[in-house]
Chains A and B, each alone.
Chain A
Amino acid sequence: MSVTYAHAPGFVAGDRPKIVTSRFEFADSYTLERYLATDGYKGLRAALSRPANEIHDDVKNATVLGRGGAGFPAGTKWGLTPQQVWPRYLVVNGDESEPGTYKDRLLMERDPHQLIEGCLIASYAAGLSQCFLYIRGEMALAQERVATALNEAYAAGYIGKNILGSNFSIDIILHWGAGAYVVGEETALIESLEGNRGMPRLKPPFFPAANGLYGQPTIVNNVETLANLPWLMCNGVAAYTAVGTKTSPGTRMVAVSGHVKRPGVFEIINGTTTFRDLIFGEEFCGGIKDDNKLKAFVPGGGSAPWFTPDQLDLPFEASQVGPAGSMLGSGAVMVMDETTDIPAAALTLTHFYAHESCGKCTPCREGGTWLERILRRIVDGSGTDADLQQLLEVGAMICPGDFPHAANEKLGLKAVPFPYKMTTICFVGPSAFAPVHSALTLFRSEFEARVTKRVTIPVTAVGVSS
């Protein structure tokens, strides 16, 4: 590949470009001084020297995919705001709390100026009036690093009135949450930013691009999505699309956790890197802990249906992972080796989603709790065979019809593609069912070994004379 990248420390072994993590190797990566010494705010200057609509076109042409979970192209999303309606807002989603996901916190702690520069470029391109940077409540260090960076950048003239002496002006306001997973969902994020209980809104009519913060057009983007923009501005669309594939250009950050030799967060090439590369590659995790066998893995955060070794050769490409029965979600791979107690592992996730239900939809509020209770009694050894059917029945009330799952040669299973139907407003309800369904479909024998046969006590009706 004969593309040169403006960020000097842009490569590691294997010619792997670093688009968003290039400064991570510096101990002082979060300071303005280091940022300026490594091309910091150069992308902003490049953007401001061109008309805003051209910058928007660049983001569209580069197909910068959203990194928050849904993978929707950012440039297209910005274009969905209605014409001639002002003000418009940017809300940055730094609420990272999907089980297994660990990247946005790093980007905020280690390179806050890169995120700020991304916010500025987006605000310029889409003509936004104010930007709110919403950081998860439990991330004290990220809040400190971003607050410090904002203070530095304001003082140096990169944020606020007449940025770099231009006619572009915008405030970036630091906002922080207080502990609620569901607030990561974009409409709940907006509710929370309005000072309310963070419960998701119904779409339609509340698509943020049309009807978001204070009822105005609002762009919600993930931290990593915006962190891509400075590099894109410095290096251009061609350099960006030269990395990865046509449908999944660039890189993405992926956290691999659980039973691997070297768990870690990696910036991988989008579209081509496979799960096998990540889990077994020497460049990445180097194989399963204690040289055990791989049993299963969650490919895209706690909400995603599980894969087994059969799916190891799939790449990080939504158009392949979807038909295979799962999703890439937020770049989080959780690995289970042969020693894993599958029902217990599923329980940790189902507990999570049941606990985090906001309570707005009955199937999620009640169904999630039921799933957790039934699963818990199975794990505790007091479940019966009837409970297995009951789990699936409760799940069908949250997600009617076939639920996606992976193919499995040994079990003779064909894949059921993503997505699923749902009876709830957001994905928290279905996410409580996903681990139960995966575990039960792929590892049913482990459940059967745990439960006892239900004893039916015959009830003899005694007639009551009329």
Chain B
Amino acid sequence: MSRLSDSNVAVAKEIIARYPRQKSALIPLLHLAQEQTGYISREAMVHLGELVGVTSAEVYGTATFYEMFRFEPIGKYLVNICGTMSCALMGSEKLMHHAEKRLGVKAGGTTADGMFTLAHAECQAACTEAPCLQVNYRFRLRVTTADLDNLIDDLKTGKLSDEIPVHGVLSKVRQHIAPDREVGAVAPELVNESPVWLNGKAAL
């Protein structure tokens, strides 16, 4: 059930083909699995191993290094509140306490209705807009406690469902390369000549 669907296998194959070595596609494919199910199941890891030609243990080894991958279901909306220096200086601790009270869970916890998972996050590259948070990796900047209350209300009533997809969906746009435009990936051992334009002559 949590193996990749047929349509996702097609996407996976397109991604794999872009790399000189198949294993390079692993992180994008783990995202694809998480997009399909909201988390990464054992079956998905076995399937990804088959697709890129490594053992499921190797897939597990890679997957567990990265914080965004989850191995059990979490809330529909993952609320990551930044706590690193710039946000801390601007009051992120207060924001976190407020969120904990409002959602009735501690950082790391998921609400009983499965709507929200609250988490502490590290620097999100929005330091001049502190304190900041992300909901399923979409930014909210200079967040006040009132903003946070409104955000939670809007997420509950589905007002933001166009802007913020459910947990697991990251980029809503995929790269597509038309076959007639693609140079194509070649295994490194099959390339041993310099590119044609490097022979000193102008390219145009």
Interface residue ranges, A against B (CB under 8 Å)? 45, 48-53, 84, 86-87, 96-102, 104-105, 124, 127-130, 136-141, 143-144, 147-148, 150-151, 154-155, 157, 159-161, 164-171, 173-181, 192-199, 214-216, 255-259, 263-265, 298, 302, 332, 334, 336, 340, 344-345, 348-349, 351-352, 355-356, 358
Contacts and interface: CB of A to CB of B under 8 A. Distances in A.
Contact of A302 (B24, B84, B203): B84
Contact of B183 (A105, A169, A199): A169
A52 B84 contact: no
B195 A352 contact: no
Contact of B204 (A166, A181, A334, A336): A166
Contacts of B200: 51-53
Given A141-B138, A173-B18, A195-B26, A155 B181 contact: yes
B62 A179 contact: no
Given A86-B191, A195-B62, 4 more contacts: A86-B192, A137-B137, A171-B182, A195-B21
B115 to A, nearest CB: 20
B3 interface: no
Contact of B123 (A176, A194, A352): A352
B83 A175 contact: no
Given A154-B178, A166-B197, A195-B62, A100 B18 contact: no
Nearest to B83: A348
A51 B200 CA distance: 5
B204 A99 contact: no
A356 B126 CA distance: 19
Nearest to A193: B24
Contacts of A84: 194
B181 A160 contact: yes
A160 B129 contact: no
Given A127-B194, A138-B137, A178 B27 contact: yes
A198 B27 CA distance: 11
Contacts, number: 247
Given A138-B137, A161-B182, A171-B18, A124 B197 contact: yes
Contacts of A86: 191-195
A82 to B, nearest CB: 12
Contact of B203 (A141, A166, A177): A166
Interface string B121-140: 11111111110001011110
Nearest to B142: A263
Nearest to A174: B175
Interface residues of B, number: 74
Nearest to A98: B123
Given A177-B27, A178-B67, A195-B24, A171 B184 contact: yes
What DSSP secondary structure best describes chain B's contact surface?
loop
A102 B196 CA distance: 38
B75 to A, nearest CB: 17
B86 interface: yes
List 10 A-B pairs, minimum CB-CB distance, nearest first.
A178-B66, A179-B67, A195-B26, A195-B23, A160-B181, A257-B127, A143-B171, A257-B86, A197-B65, A166-B203
B66 A87 contact: no
Interface in B83-127: 83-86, 88-90, 121-127
8 contacts: A96-B125, A124-B197, A138-B68, A141-B139, A171-B177, A257-B127, A344-B88, A352-B85
Interface in B165-204: 170-178, 180-186, 188, 191-198, 200-204
B136 to A, nearest CB: 8
B90 A102 contact: no
A348 B85 contact: yes
B89 A336 contact: yes
A129 B192 CA distance: 11
B127 A100 contact: yes
Nearest to A166: B203
Contact of A48 (B61, B175, B178, B202): B202
A175 B127 contact: no
B127 A255 contact: yes
A97 B122 contact: yes
Given A96-B125, A143-B170, A50 B202 contact: yes
A317 to B, nearest CB: 23
B73 interface: no
Nearest to A194: B24
A334 B127 contact: yes
Contacts of B19: 173
Given A97-B123, A102-B125, A140-B137, A349 B84 contact: yes
B88 to A, nearest CB: 4
Contacts of B85: 99-100, 258, 298, 302, 334, 345, 348-349, 352
Contact of A178 (B68, B121, B138, B195): B68
B123 to A, nearest CB: 4
A147 B174 contact: yes
B86 A147 contact: no
A214 B125 CA distance: 30
B76 interface: no
A161 B203 CA distance: 13
A138 B24 CA distance: 19
A358 B61 CA distance: 13
Interface centre among B62, B123, B173 (most CB of A within 10 A): B123
Contacts of A193: 24
B52 interface: yes
A99 B28 contact: no
A99 B84 contact: yes
A107 B20 CA distance: 28
Nearest to A129: B191
Interface centre among A99, A100, A127, A215 (most CB of B within 10 A): A99
A115 to B, nearest CB: 14
